[in-house]
Every structure is written in structure tokens, then in C-alpha cells.
Amino acid sequence: MKTMTGAKMVVQALKDQGVEVVFGYPGGAVLPIYDELFQQNDIRHILVRHEQGAVHAAEGYARSTGKIGVALVTSGPGATNAVTGLVDALMDSIPIIVLSGQVPTFMIGTDGFQEADTVGITRPCTKMNWLVKETERLSETIHQAFHVALSGRPGPVLVDIPKDVQFATGSYTPVQKARTAHYQPKVKGDIEAITRLVELMETAERPVFYTGGGVINSGKGASQLLCEFADATGFPVTSTLMGLGAYPASGKSWLGMLGMHGLYEANLAMHGCDLMINVGARFDDRITGRLADFSPKSTKVHIDIDPSSINKVIRVDVPIVGDVGHVLEDALKIWKARGRKVNKEGLAKWWKQIEEWKAVNCLAYENSASIIKPQFALQRLEALTKGMDRYITTEVGQHQMWAAQFLHFDAPNRWMTSGGLGTMGYGIPASVGVQIAHPEALVINVAGEASWLMNMQEMGTAMQFRAPVKQFILNNERLGMVRQWQELLHGERYSQSWSESLPDFVKLAEAFGCKGLRCSDPKDLDDAIMEMIRYDGPVIFDCLVEKHENCFPMIPSGKPHNEMLLSADASAFKSGAVLV
């Protein structure tokens, strides 16, 4: 074994794990590591402007590549600034590693300068975390962290490294000798349970595949298997916000997204199905609505690699613990071996019903010749970028839901958004992380002006590292989703939801040194979008949209799937009418 300093161990471990990019911000407690980064050329360091930005950038990198994202932060406020990103990654199962500096071991517990109990603070928001007090254990711990982050249900891990451990010397443990056998999640599903799933599929009259981010996390093979299975059976497919792209939006079985702002046909199919096949989703409350009325007459199958997710929210009839890709592969083999049987008569009636629901055209809106509707802006963005090598990130709010409704994804890993935590400020740094991973691709962050301002400093990162990210801001001068809920549920009392003193985004772009665009007329929108796309560098696009547009469909909080609000229903709902 080679002898080296702890700081050198960190860099060597990252190299051995195949890390190409680290997003970070230096400080006193990590200067030895930064010194080692300076003396090598294999790992690229991206200097963010805020540690929250480092973690979100690592998330964007991870989500768009399938690799582990890495962030490096200093002790105290550096580590606490990273917490939001850690929780975000935990909720959405994104594999990232945060390496944090710590005060020297002999100062731990003394309230030293920039000391925080990082391991204690981050224990609830990581899969696993470590405080490494001995240099001899440092390299092996980092290798274990990589293993834990990506194995089983992916997620964030943190390694806290005191400064004296970075200076001291010890023996380096190579990857192949690191102990990882103690954490080996089950990936193969129970064959009897999988066979039971196939039996249910053979007779179901109203089946539906309910898919989630687990399909994407399992890898492209899982998405391909899902497509093959859905197309071979003719079963309809819907998806959570995190699962968009796992089944192509152009596919013949696609129903669209389900949930609080999901499509009418997707939600009614979930409500009325007799067989629900949950593939890599966790029955999030934004999907289920009122639990007692969630898909009341269906037999429920749940495929998930995380055993703690099964029966946590919804009791299911057939639990299958295992990796989505492995389980789908086995299920497809068994289904083919048993004769590829489905209930053709039942399916025909089911699709006829679904087509009737589709005819409602739930995304319809009243367009305008004088003002840009946000839906129209995203329809044009979709039309003008369709077929391009395109990646989309979002902030959080109405614009996020409209993006999910109107932008279409035919492949996994093309859609990066904050689902479980709903983190405003996620989009800009995530877009930078995606662009660093895919320098030749078109990367667009769909934003609201309020969310965008939360981490706007990361435009400095984009400029420094020549990441030509496009910031497409739907500017309604409102906290749009908050304002919508206040209109519909709080008597139109708009408490603190109207933005004041917004910056001039074009001048702000110029201050950052990038290109600024503004558009307020629908007839100019296409040309402006094309100017944004063609510009060779970062762009801030201020798209002035209708201020009081609401996002529909909408399942009001605590209501079941069959009590959706469509745009025409809003006035009736505000007056207290019951919708069925």
C-alpha cells in the first residue's frame, strides 16, 4: 500500500473512482485538498458561488449522466449551506457525495472557528455519513461512500474530514480492497411474486403502469425494458414528475404525467384501474391525493429496490423488492414463456375509455394575441427545440408543472427537476452541472423569476466556465404557485405573493457578462427563442407572461384523483361547489 497524506488520498480516491468533475468552494478546513487538486490535471474543479449551488450542480451532473456527482465544501457554514442540496438529493434518490472539511480532531467539540456538528446535522438527510478521525481509514471510507451512494436506492452521502487528518500520512487502500460487502442491497426480485404479477397482467381489464424515478435510476436498460413490456402488452403508461422520459412521450402507450398537476386521462386511469403496477415510484402525496380514495378498486403491485418504501404509504397486494431493471427483465421473460397473454377485450374497452378522457383536452387554455401565456411559451419552446440534443432543468413552481405538461421527453436523463423537496433555486446550478457534463448539448433552465433569483449568483459560474446555459424565465411578477393557492383556497388574499422591486433581467445579464433578451409580444416569441438557442454563450431570457394564469389540471390538496379542477372549474370551486 502507498503512503500519502490524507489530502492526497482524497484526490487519489476520486481519480480511482473515475471522477472527472468536482463542484466546490474552498475554505480553511479544505485547503490541503485544494492544494492537491491544484497539483493535478485529471479532475476538473468547478468553482461555484455558493455551496448550495455546488450540491445542486452535482445533482444535475448525476441525473444527466447516471454517474455520481461530487461536491467539496469547507467546514461550518460551508457544510450547512450544503444541507438543502443533500435533502433534495435524498428525496429524489440522486447519487452524490459531499466531502466536507472539519476543524482538527483535537478541536472538535470546542466551538472552534467554523465548527459545526456536520455529521449530526446531516444524519437525517444522507443515506450514510462518516466523520473520519484517522488518516488510515480515509481512503477506504471514501470508496465505501461511492458504493453506498450508488447501490440500492441511490442517494447522497457525506464524508467529514478534519484538517489534521488531511495533513497526516497513512496507507492508501485501493478500490478493490475496500470493504463493501456489508452493504449489498437485494437486486433480484422474488420469482414467485413476479410470477403473480404476470398472472395478474394476463387477466387485468384496466391495467396501468405507474412509473417513477426508479426506472431512470436503474439505468437505460430498465427504460428499454419498460418500453418493450408496455408496447408488447398494450398497457397504458403514466409517470411521476421524476420519471418523465423513462417511457417516451411519443410512445403509443403514453398517458402523460399524473398527480396534483397531472393530466386528466392519467389521473382518471389511476383512479379507475383494476391493476396498478408501480415501477420505481414511492406513492408520493402529490400522486396519491387523499389516501382513503386512492385507486380504490385496484390490485396494487409495487416494484422498488428500497424495502422501506413498500407499504410505507399505500398497502399493496404484491410487493416486489428488487432493482427495477432486474424485475422487469424477469417479468418479461416469464410473460413471454407463458404465451404473451393479455385480456384483449378488456384492454380494448379500457383504451376506448382512455381516449374519451383524452378528448377532454385538459391542457387547453385561452390563448392571447397580445400577451404571452406561459403555456404558449413552453409550447413554442418545445416545438423549436424538438429533436435537438436537449436537456431541461427547472426551478420550482407553476413553470415547473407547465414544463412537465408541455415539454416532451423521449429518453431518460433529459429532465432534471426538484420533485420531493421542491427546492426553489435548484434550476440554475443544476443546469450548470448538466452543461459541464454535456458541453455540446442545448441545456435550458425553465424558471420563474422568484425561484431564479434564489441562486442567480451561479450565472457567474456559468460565465467563468463557459457553460452556455439558457435561462428561460417565465416572468409573471408573482410567486405563481403561492398566488394560485391563495386565489383558489384562501379567498384571494394575496399575502406576500406579488413580487416587488424585481431586477431588470437584461441589465442583470449584461452585468454578468452574458446575453440578455426580453420578449412580451407573442408574435416575437419564436424569433427570440431562436436567438437564445443560437447564441454561443449563457443567456438570460426574460419572457414576460400573463400574471394571473393558473396551472391546470389541479387536484386540490386532500382530494381524490377524480375530483380534478380543470380551468373552467376554477370559479365553481372558489364558490364552494363540489366537483366530481
Point out the residues that are catalytic: 51, 113-114, 163, 481
DSSP-derived letter for residue 360 is: T
- Whole-angstrom distance, CA of residue 177 vs CA of residue 175: 5
C-alpha cell, 269: 386511469
User: CB-based contacts of 411: which residues, under 8 Å, 6+ apart?
Assistant: 223, 245, 248
3-state SS, residue 174? coil
- Whole-angstrom distance, CA of residue 158 vs CA of residue 142: 9
Q: How many CB atoms sit inside 10 A of residue 233's CB? A: 21
3-state SS, residue 173? coil
Kind and range of the H or E element at 211? strand 207-211
Beta-strand relationship, 3-5 and 169-171? antiparallel
Q: Is the dihedral of CA 322, 325, 331, 334 positive or negative?
A: negative
Yes or no: say if 226 and 215 are a contact pair by the CB < 8 Å rule.
yes
On the question of a cis peptide bond just before residue 553, with omega within 30 degrees of 0, the verdict is yes
Residue with cell 382530494: 559
DSSP-derived letter for residue 292 is: G
Report which of 381, 154, 312, 334 is spatially closest to residue 233, judged by C-alpha positions. 334
- Whole-angstrom distance, CA of residue 77 vs CA of residue 6: 22
Report which of 46, 57, 48 is spatially closest to residue 21, judged by C-alpha positions. 46
3-state SS, residue 68? coil
Residue with cell 383504451: 351
Helices (H) and strands (E) in the chain, counts: 24, 20
Angle between helices 264-272 and 344-358 (to 10 degrees): 140
DSSP-derived letter for residue 275 is: E
Residue with cell 406561459: 374
DSSP-derived letter for residue 455 is: T
Residue type, 505: F
